[in-house]
Structure 1
């Protein structure tokens, strides 16, 4: 049991994505605490709670989003303060004033540029209205608090290891090529054992799961590209125009589509090996399994070896085989060839996001 726990801890310690999340959490806490100290202890503002609140809202997953959200946050706070002042001066602190404030705030939230800050306008307006709207000094203090929080959040997120979501996207790509390889290996094992129709249906369902993973990977690559904008780190340059990543994703899309096509072709064959004959079934199934293993291991040499074997096998079958199943043979050979052609470049690029961090629990030396 201890070995299992230790293995999980070591996996976490070596996972750069986990460390990235931990760092982002620490930066958020640092920004909020620093904003509170500046507003309460340094500037001695009367009610400095808006400063850490604004800092929490501003520290985002990317530097670009931090700046864009910071601008929206300042605008929303100014609108909320002015709105609360106008409503308070007109109606005072009454139920009708609160209702009117909320309605107007949410209506203003429908403006596209302020849409993401509709709740911010409403909540900030409520705080200003209920804690003192008729004191100009207090209203200016609210604006100072928010400006301090936004400024500290921006500064912390830019200076303290600005986030670059490259490794998160890389892990998503790695998970997809591992999934394709595992599926091909399972298909080969199932075909050796005369897989039932339920297995074929499960293979097709797994390709749909891979499609969902691809959609998520595209979103993560776009987020990584955004994280490179306004990012001072030198490693951000590659992600500003991630053509290589887009090319790998398109190849993975092709591999998934070809795998689904292959599974559907297999589903139309009720008695695979009996119908095909051993001369085709044994070598083709072996190459299918080897291609899956090569994809899982990110081994381009193994994939190219399977590609060479498949070409030789195809020429031999074309010269000697006169079976009525030849159209099926051709479809399966083409599907497998296209999968290998898509995956060999992916395997060659692996690991695109870098290796694991060399962090582990210390081991006890034996006596």
Structure 2
């Protein structure tokens, strides 16, 4: 029974995390909007206007509803242009060669060659498939050709309206969540380095720390891409909260600070790796306070505690001043390098910690707990 209860609590916890995740709800909303746009386009084309072959309307709507309003408009314009080109191409090939294997091959070749046109290149497949449908389902009737253009226009228009009017997407939370995870990762790595040095690390541990900084570099690249997408999502977005994302200078500054912190952490780890013998000869006078400050800096970054990071900076300044008054030893260059690395990390991360939580609070959604279950726990 205990194991079953633990599994149940684990499942409940995962569901609660999902329900409180605004990014997940954003994806769900985008899925619902896409389906809504496609169904509405079909109803308008098939039931309201009674077009003879309305299948292009929901298809165009599916292609047009994108992650940002700006991309929806730009892709909508490309979609209309690609459909017009496809209809004209299918009509010309059909009138010249009829419906034959050669005409289909020629249409596909020409459509894919149009992919060389920069503005239409991303729609090369759309031109080919639309032209193929027009050619094989009837190119001789002007009514059908006009109907296909109307179908596409309906799909594009419905997709635009749904994406703009129904909670237009603003990818702010997605980018913010990625940034929050990076500073957590930096803090966790600093704590692990401090703990590892205190217990006596090996070359493999240092190599693993350096590899983790490379992973953080990849996370930073992903976060930069998400911030750019969030900035794009603010363009042509009617939501009031979109104004701040049109030029997210603060986020750019935070990402640059985290890039510096990662670079300094990698430098610190490489210093440790190239000076293994020195770790054994540091002595408690340097090792104990420096390792304590390194661990506290990591915990401050991980918990987004700017006061803790400011305290580490103050302690580090006092520590460096005390070292200057002591007799210099052969280890002094290593002491200086490690102190500078830690100082730069703290200087970079205190502003990041002060800005957290970047993405705001989680949504207050959870699975209801029955009174009997709560009392038993």
TM-score (norm 2): 0.96
2:20–2:362 CA contact under 8 A, matched in 1: yes
2:365 is matched with 359
Cα drift, residue 324 of structure 1: 1.0
Report Cα offsets for 1:32-55 as digits up to 9, x if no partner.
Answer: 000000000000011110000000
Cα drift, residue 273 of structure 1: 3.7
Report Cα offsets for 1:112-137 as digits up to 9, x if no partner.
Answer: 01011000000000000000000000
User: Counterparts of 1:46 and 1:275 in 2: how far apart (Å)?
Assistant: 86
Cα drift, residue 266 of structure 1: 0.4
Cα drift, residue 268 of structure 1: 1.1
1:167 is matched with 173
2:87–2:145 CA contact under 8 A, matched in 1: yes
- Distance 1:61-1:328 versus aligned 2 partners, 3 A rule: same
Instruction: State which of 316, 319, 333 in structure 1 corresponds to 2:322.
Output: 316
User: Counterparts of 2:343 and 2:23 in 1: how far apart (Å)?
Assistant: 34
Instruction: State which of 278, 282, 294 in structure 2 corresponds to 1:276.
Output: 282
1:346 is matched with 352
2:296–2:312 CA contact under 8 A, matched in 1: yes
Residue 72, structure 1, aligned to residue 113, structure 2: no
Residue 246, structure 1, aligned to residue 249, structure 2: no
Report Cα offsets for 1:137-193 as digits up to 9, x if no partner.
Answer: 000000010000000000000000000000000011111101100000000010001
Cα drift, residue 272 of structure 1: 4.5
**Tell me, what secondary structure is at the counterpart of 1:112?**
coil
2:200 is matched with 194
**Tell me, what secondary structure is at the counterpart of 2:120?**
helix
Cα drift, residue 351 of structure 1: 1.1
1:194–1:272 CA contact under 8 A, matched in 2: no
Residue 210, structure 1, aligned to residue 216, structure 2: yes
User: Counterparts of 2:156 and 2:43 in 1: how far apart (Å)?
Assistant: 14
User: Counterparts of 1:96 and 1:361 in 2: how far apart (Å)?
Assistant: 61
User: Counterparts of 1:271 and 1:358 in 2: how far apart (Å)?
Assistant: 52
Gaps in structure 2 of 5+ consecutive residues: 1-6
Report Cα offsets for 1:89-111 as digits up to 9, x if no partner.
Answer: 00000000000000110111210
1:300 is matched with 306
Cα drift, residue 9 of structure 1: 0.5
Instruction: State which of 40, 52, 55 in structure 1 corresponds to 2:46.
Output: 40
Report Cα offsets for 1:37-96 as digits up to 9, x if no partner.
Answer: 000000001111000000000000000000000000000000000000000000000000
2:272–2:279 CA contact under 8 A, matched in 1: no
Instruction: State which of 109, 115, 125 in structure 2 corresponds to 1:103.
Output: 109
Q: Aligned pairs, how many?
A: 367
Gaps in structure 1 of 5+ consecutive residues: none
Instruction: State which of 178, 187, 207 in structure 1 corresponds to 2:184.
Output: 178
1:310–1:337 CA contact under 8 A, matched in 2: yes
Instruction: State which of 5, 9, 15 in structure 2 corresponds to 1:3.
Output: 9
2:227 is matched with 221
CA RMSD of aligned residues (A): 0.8
Cα drift, residue 322 of structure 1: 2.3
Instruction: State which of 153, 158, 162 in structure 2 corresponds to 1:156.
Output: 162
User: Counterparts of 1:170 and 1:346 in 2: how far apart (Å)?
Assistant: 12
